[in-house]
Chains A and B, each alone.
Chain A
Amino acid sequence: MIADRPSVVIVDDHELFRAGVRAELEELVDVRGAAGTVEDAVAAILDAEPDVVLLDVHMPGGGGVQVIRAVADRRPAQRFLALSVSDAAEDVIAIIRAGARGYVTKSISARELADAIDRVRGGDAVFSPRLAGFVLDAFHGEIPESEIDPELDQLTAREREVLRLIARGYLYKEIALRLNISPKTVEAHVGAVLRKLQLSSRHELSRWAVERRLVDD
């Protein structure tokens, strides 16, 4: 299905899980390395220079956010896809705001995961239905007119529509069919939402980020 396979480094402190993902993905992607700690992960990423890093959110000694930060200086274009058992809003929002281009839960099937990896490699964002729900929730409440940065603090009607369909379980191509737009346009909308998610100063997002000590004091 995927002509030239994307190269991947798997970062997860759970060895059993690492081995499982590796076995599942072997056919679909080129697994260049795996690591179980922040330090090993940084070394492995700089060494293997993969297209995409599969990143666990929780790890002893810092977790995924630390890995993204440590790599950012030396490989600014490195793409990360977060993969976690956690479905807590603060975890999801924190790793996305740190720079991950997507978030999927560990129960995802191998084919879906390979598909998500390929999309992240291409520079697109990967939103699970749950992440879409969080984003809608975070951008839901009213904020004072004067504080709104229309560029970053609000979603357009179309972006909302796309997110809603993702939350309802539609695939990108199904969304495109439903809204009568091209899949590329769907991807552009999701990319715009990702940018807002990372840069917006909306109160809800900042609160989640602070809870995970993402913001330097």
Chain B
Amino acid sequence: MTAAQQPLRRDTSRGWVAGVFAGLGARLGVDPLILRVGFVVVAVATGGVALLGYLVAWAAIPATEDQPAPLARLARIRRVRGDWRIALGVVLLTLSCLLAFRQLGLWWSDAIVWPLVAAAFGAVLLWGRSRPDAADREADAPAAASKPPVAPTAAAPQEPTEAPTSRIGDLYRGVFGILLVVGAGLLFLSSNHVFGGLRDAALTTVVVVVALALILAPFLWRLGRNLASERAERIRSQERAELAAHLHDSVLQTLALMQKRADDPREVAALARRQERELRDWLAGDGRRTTDDRFAASLRRAAEEIEDVHRVAIDVVMVGDCPLDERSEALLGAVREALVNAAKHAGDAGAIRVYAEVDENEIELFVRDRGPGFDLARVPLDRQGVRESIIGRMERAGGSAEIRSVPHGGTEVGLTVPRMAPEREGGAA
């Protein structure tokens, strides 16, 4: 059967009305006349409801000629937005639900069919208006789905030209929706003969309230959505303003300063370095700042302070970390002294390097510069810096300091301090 392979098409050339049965007959290999007679019988038996089925078939099935189905054509017209299609779908759904209830015997009166359908149609149109535009666009996307995947970027510039049309469409749709809902209410009331009866005043009120709710709810809903999106927009613009303020206070100021001091390379380098540090901290978030009670963070901060004061570059490399205690505080004091020393004597000879390694038993730290180097034996006794602040301090903390000076290779201060026994080990000892 080759006919069965073909998709279902309406045959408008041989059809009587829209060619639905001619096409269906060709597809099934049955004489269309049999189908037509059968349909008329069913239509009469269902009180005309089956006619709706015919309408749906006409709308959904494309004709023989290479034309899309009327529904698809409807959807393709830009002015007719996705809401109409959704409304139509909801109407059909409502009808099918009603039919099902009727078949099951859960039935009150045929009088509610058309009011319900009209109310559903109107409500969907009104509710559709309350959706944000993005959702609207999404609903329209399937109609334009045949476009290549560049659509998202290519479609964007077209949006503004569409706006006026859709504004009018919105209005049109809104008025139409209200008329439908009001009409549905009136139809329902008149079909129940309650206009004259006082005892049904309650029912009248209920119907009016329901109609009003259907009409007003979308507007209230939309109002709420607009407020929410306005708030989000405000937060976004606040963030932008904060970012702009930060860049203005920090980066732009520093750049201006650097231009002024362009003749002092050391000053420019120091400014750039400080700005880089600040920007890195800021980009990394607050994480690095909040751990001030840790050794690594304190060491970094000490190095930064000395960088700023003495206009030198200090690179810190850390392996491991530990909480600050008496001994690591003493170590920090000694490191400061060593760094200041290096900054004074070797600040021009490239970056000063700090390497610290924390393991279970001790903290080891090295400060290395590439300055001219000096001989410890020849340091005058009144220079308290090295002897007292570094060596003495380390010895009092139970550690040691070693100053290694290599001619042409710079100076390296090595500091070692044993870790304080953690409290949990106190009981075991």
Taking Cβ atoms with an 8 Å cutoff, the residues of A that contact B are: 129-130, 132-133, 136-137, 140, 164, 167-170, 174
CA distance A32 to B144 in the complex (A): 48
The residue in A130, A140, A168, A174 that gathers the most chain B C-beta atoms within 10 A of its C-beta is A168
Q: Are B355 and A168 in contact (CB under 8 A)?
A: yes
Which residues of chain B from 322 to 373 have any CB-CB distance to chain A below 8 Å in the complex? 353, 355, 357, 359, 366, 368, 370
Q: Give 9 A-B contacts (CB < 8 Å), ordered by A residue.
A: A129-B315, A130-B317, A133-B318, A137-B320, A140-B319, A167-B319, A168-B353, A169-B315, A174-B409
Q: Are B355 and A167 in contact (CB under 8 A)?
A: yes
Which residues of B lie under 8 Å from residue A130 when comparing CB positions?
A: 315, 317
CA distance A170 to B317 in the complex (A): 13
Q: Are A133 and B317 in contact (CB under 8 A)?
A: yes
Q: Looking at the assembled complex, report how far the CB atom of B212 sits from the nearest CB atom of chain A, in whole angstroms.
A: 55
Chain A residue with Cβ nearest B409: A174
Q: Looking at the assembled complex, report how far the CB atom of B9 sits from the nearest CB atom of chain A, in whole angstroms.
A: 46
Which residues of B lie under 8 Å from residue A136 when comparing CB positions?
A: 319, 357
Which residues of B lie under 8 Å from residue A174 when comparing CB positions?
A: 409
Q: Assuming A129-B355, A133-B355, A174-B409, is B368 touching A168 (CB within 8 A)?
A: yes
Does residue B11 face the partner (Cβ distance < 8 Å to A)? no
Chain A residue with Cβ nearest B370: A169
Interface string of B307-319 (1 = CB under 8 A from A): 0000000010111
The residue in B319, B359, B366, B409 that gathers the most chain A C-beta atoms within 10 A of its C-beta is B319
Q: Are B319 and A169 in contact (CB under 8 A)?
A: no
Does residue B170 face the partner (Cβ distance < 8 Å to A)? no
Does residue B412 face the partner (Cβ distance < 8 Å to A)? yes
CA distance A130 to B353 in the complex (A): 10
The residue in A130, A133, A164 that gathers the most chain B C-beta atoms within 10 A of its C-beta is A133
Q: Are B409 and A164 in contact (CB under 8 A)?
A: no
CA distance A19 to B401 in the complex (A): 46
Q: Looking at the assembled complex, report how far the CB atom of B168 sits from the nearest CB atom of chain A, in whole angstroms.
A: 42
7 A-B pairs with the lowest CB-CB distances in the bound complex, closest first: A169-B353, A133-B317, A169-B368, A168-B355, A167-B355, A168-B366, A136-B319
Q: Are A132 and B317 in contact (CB under 8 A)?
A: yes
Which residues of A lie under 8 Å from residue B366 when comparing CB positions?
A: 168
CA distance A96 to B77 in the complex (A): 56
Chain A residue with Cβ nearest B272: A107
Which residues of A lie under 8 Å from residue B368 when comparing CB positions?
A: 168-170
B315, B353, B357, B412: the one contacting A164 at CB < 8 Å is B357
CA distance A136 to B353 in the complex (A): 17
CA distance A130 to B319 in the complex (A): 10
Which residues of A lie under 8 Å from residue B320 when comparing CB positions?
A: 137, 140
Q: Looking at the assembled complex, report how far the CB atom of A155 sits from the nearest CB atom of chain B, in whole angstroms.
A: 12
Task: Please classify how large the interface on chain B is, using the bins under 10, 10 to 19, 20 to 34, 35 or more.
Answer: 10 to 19
Beyond known contacts A136-B319, A169-B355: 19 more, CB 8 A cutoff: A129-B355, A130-B315, A133-B318, A133-B355, A136-B357, A137-B320, A140-B319, A140-B320, A140-B359, A164-B355, A167-B319, A167-B355, A168-B353, A168-B355, A168-B366, A168-B368, A169-B353, A169-B368, A169-B370
CA distance A137 to B370 in the complex (A): 26
Which residues of chain B from 45 to 94 have any CB-CB distance to chain A below 8 Å in the complex? none
Which residues of B lie under 8 Å from residue A133 when comparing CB positions?
A: 317-319, 355
Which residues of B lie under 8 Å from residue A168 when comparing CB positions?
A: 353, 355, 366, 368, 412
Which residues of chain B from 374 to 429 have any CB-CB distance to chain A below 8 Å in the complex? 409, 412
CA distance A164 to B370 in the complex (A): 17
Q: Looking at the assembled complex, report how far the CB atom of B62 sits from the nearest CB atom of chain A, in whole angstroms.
A: 43
Q: Assuming A164-B355, A168-B412, is B319 touching A129 (CB within 8 A)?
A: no
CA distance A140 to B355 in the complex (A): 15
Q: Looking at the assembled complex, report how far the CB atom of B316 sits from the nearest CB atom of chain A, in whole angstroms.
A: 9
Q: Are A129 and B353 in contact (CB under 8 A)?
A: yes
Which residues of A lie under 8 Å from residue B409 when comparing CB positions?
A: 174
Q: Are A129 and B357 in contact (CB under 8 A)?
A: no
Which residues of chain B from 251 to 285 have any CB-CB distance to chain A below 8 Å in the complex? none
Which residues of B lie under 8 Å from residue A169 when comparing CB positions?
A: 315, 353, 355, 368, 370
Q: Looking at the assembled complex, report how far the CB atom of A105 sits from the nearest CB atom of chain B, in whole angstroms.
A: 9
Chain B residue with Cβ nearest A138: B319
CA distance A48 to B320 in the complex (A): 43
Q: Looking at the assembled complex, report how far the CB atom of B403 sits from the nearest CB atom of chain A, in whole angstroms.
A: 14
CA distance A95 to B384 in the complex (A): 47
The residue in B320, B353, B355, B412 that gathers the most chain A C-beta atoms within 10 A of its C-beta is B355
CA distance A134 to B357 in the complex (A): 11
CA distance A164 to B357 in the complex (A): 9
Q: Looking at the assembled complex, report how far the CB atom of A89 sits from the nearest CB atom of chain B, in whole angstroms.
A: 11
Which residues of A lie under 8 Å from residue B318 when comparing CB positions?
A: 133
Chain A residue with Cβ nearest B365: A168
Q: Looking at the assembled complex, report how far the CB atom of B239 sits from the nearest CB atom of chain A, in whole angstroms.
A: 23
Which residues of A lie under 8 Å from residue B370 when comparing CB positions?
A: 169
CA distance A167 to B353 in the complex (A): 8
Chain A residue with Cβ nearest B410: A169
CA distance A133 to B357 in the complex (A): 9
B317, B359, B412: the one contacting A129 at CB < 8 Å is B317
CA distance A190 to B28 in the complex (A): 79
CA distance A157 to B366 in the complex (A): 19
Which residues of B lie under 8 Å from residue A140 when comparing CB positions?
A: 319-320, 359
Which residues of A lie under 8 Å from residue B412 when comparing CB positions?
A: 168
Q: Are A137 and B319 in contact (CB under 8 A)?
A: yes
CA distance A133 to B366 in the complex (A): 13
CA distance A169 to B319 in the complex (A): 14
CA distance A3 to B138 in the complex (A): 65
Which residues of A lie under 8 Å from residue B317 when comparing CB positions?
A: 129-130, 132-133, 167
